[in-house]
Amino acid sequence: MRIFCGIDWASDHHDIVLVDADGTLVARARITDDVAGLQQLLGLLAEHGDTAETRMPVAIETCRGLLVACLRATGRPIYAINPLAASRYRERHTVARKKSDHFDAMILANILRTDAAAHRTIPMDSELAQAVAVLARAQQDAVWDRTQAGNKLRSHLREYFPGYLTAVQPVLGGLCSSVARVLLAAAPTPAQATRLTRAQLRAVLKRAGRQRGIDAEATRLHAALRSPQMRQLPLVEDAMGRQTITLLRKLDAACTSADELAEAAVETFEGHPDSEIITSFPGIGSLTGARILAEMGDDPSRFADARALKSYAGAAPVTRASGKSTSVKARRIKNQRLAAAGYIWAFASLTASPGARAHYDRRRTHGDRHISALRNLFNRMIGCLRHCLGNRVRYDETIAFPTQPEPGLTTAA
């Protein structure tokens, strides 16, 4: 008799439900989120037929956490059910909208009993791929934090020090560059900035790591910081300068975290056997490759075909047909991290691949907007990537784009 397990997880405890093939409750328990709770769960599964040869499937609403990691180590199939999908199943069993931890665990077990084929198990990625995923996602989160901290600081500077933003605008990296941050720490108010000498500005540039064109840049900053601008009252200006220092500390921490995590992600990614194939594609560097591998994983059985991968990445469109009405629209439900990496990949490939550039120009000629053309290019490139990974071959431009592009398209701006 087949038994199905549903787990409603929480921060400090988990509710367990076992049901048979007829939907009858076989066992229930509440375990703690520790080693003792894990042993209790494994013992409960073993009592009802779980063996090394026939592992009992488990449904849970998350794919992360120590409980999931330990259950994955046992080799059993684990289904990470989307909470939105689980809430829809709940309406099949009750119209009163009642909810409890035990009832939610029962719903998850019944999902496996009735519709397991409609859901996918958590991919069995290698340990190295999981490590790449942790670092790549953390680095992307750090980049988002850096952007948020930079926007807060920029908004604050507009209120009392717009001349500084004008002065650092030509600097590569803008407000997040080391030159801009060191300069702002040295002079957080307009009054302090106007007192900086060229010698002091040269020292600031050297402290920020600038090695070339120091004299010319110091002269430019010296003039820019002394240009006329509107000012706050002296005491207000000084108070806002103190606030700037606190916002600058947050930006410094975000920039440092993003840089350190980028180095760690690249180092780990380059040790993966798929890295050479992924980076052989035009437009993919080590960091972008790490983000792509993190979301795709290295489980060869995860995606049934290329279309499944394209849908997961948001590259394949969605067709809605009803009666005589048919519409094709961009996919909204997707892996947002993989879609973001795909945009970077497709955009960078325009200058690295003549075939990609010709494909993009052809889509633009047919009426696609910039985003739509890039998404269509990403759709084609990620299909090529799946083929190359499956056959363990590197990217070949002549195979990916067999039709030779017209001369005018390869050089289009």
pLDDT in tens, 207-256: 998 888 899 999 999 999 998 888 889 999 999 999 999 999 999 999 99
- What is the mean predicted confidence (pLDDT) over 59-69? 88
For residue 408, pLDDT beyond 60: no
Segment 83-137, tens digit of pLDDT: 888 888 887 777 667 778 888 899 999 999 988 888 888 888 899 999 999 999 9
Tell me what pLDDT residue 1 has.
61
Residues 3/26, Cβ–Cβ less than 8 Å: yes
Distance CA 253, CA 250 (A): 5
3-state secondary structure of 325: strand
The DSSP-derived string for 219-265 is HHHHHHTTS------HHHHHHHHHHHHHHHHHHHHHHHHHHHHHHHH
pLDDT value, residue 407:
52
DSSP annotation of 117: G
Residue 31 in tokens: 């375990």
Let me know: does 80 contact 60? Beta carbons within 8 Å: yes
Q: In this model, does residue 149 exceed pLDDT 50?
A: yes
pLDDT confidence of residue 412: 36
Q: Which residue, chain included where needed, has tokens 């990445």?
A: 313
Q: Are 234 and 191 spatial neighbours (Cβ–Cβ below 8 Å)?
A: yes
Q: Which helix (H) or strand (E) element contains residue 293?
A: helix 286-296
**What is the structure's pLDDT at 96?**
67
Crossing angle of helices 370-391 and 306-313, rounded to 10°: 140
Predicted local distance difference test score (pLDDT) of residue 410: 44
Confidence of residue 411 (pLDDT cuts 50, 70, 90): very low
Residue 413 pLDDT level (bands cut at 50, 70, 90)? very low
Strands 78-80 and 58-60: parallel
Q: Give CA–CA dist 227/79, Å, rounded.
A: 62
- 28 sits in the region (left: phi over 0; alpha: psi -120 to 50; else beta) called beta
- Other beta carbons less than 10 A from residue 90's beta carbon: 16
| Predicted pLDDT at 409 | 47
- Read off the pLDDT of each residue in 315-323 and give the average, rounded to a whole number: 85
Q: Write out the CATH class of domain 3-118.
A: alpha beta
Which two tokens mark 281? Answer: 């594609």
Read off the pLDDT of each residue in 64-68 and give the average, rounded to a whole number. 87
Burial class (CB in 10 A: 0-12, 13-18, 19+), 218: buried
Residue, of 333 and 257, whose pLDDT is higher:
257
Question: Alpha-carbon distance 344 to 283, whole Å?
Answer: 8
pTM for the model stands at: 0.83
Residue in the block written with tokens 């939610």 = 104
Long-range contacts from 76-82, C-beta under 8 angstroms, 24+ separation: 76/50, 77/121, 78/121, 78/122, 79/111, 79/112, 79/116, 79/119, 79/120, 79/121, 79/122, 80/122, 81/108, 81/111, 81/119
pLDDT for 133: 94
* Rounded CA separation 358/376 (Å): 12
- Write out the DSSP string of 171-217: STTGGGSHHHHHHHHH--SHHHHHT--HHHHHHHHHHTT--SSHHHH
Domain boundaries, the chain: 3-118, 131-267, 277-410
CA separation (Å) from 230 to 80, 161, 238? 56, 8, 15
Alpha carbons 369 and 34: distance in angstroms, whole number: 52
Rounded to whole angstroms, how far apart are CA atoms 167 and 292? 37
Model confidence pLDDT, tens digit, residues 243-260: 999 999 999 999 999 999
End-to-end CA distance of the chain: 65
* Selection from 205, 209, 237 nearest residue 220 by Cα: 205
Amino acid identity, position 413: A
Taking residues 167-190, report their average pLDDT.
Answer: 91
Q: Between 197 and 320, whose confidence is greater?
A: 197
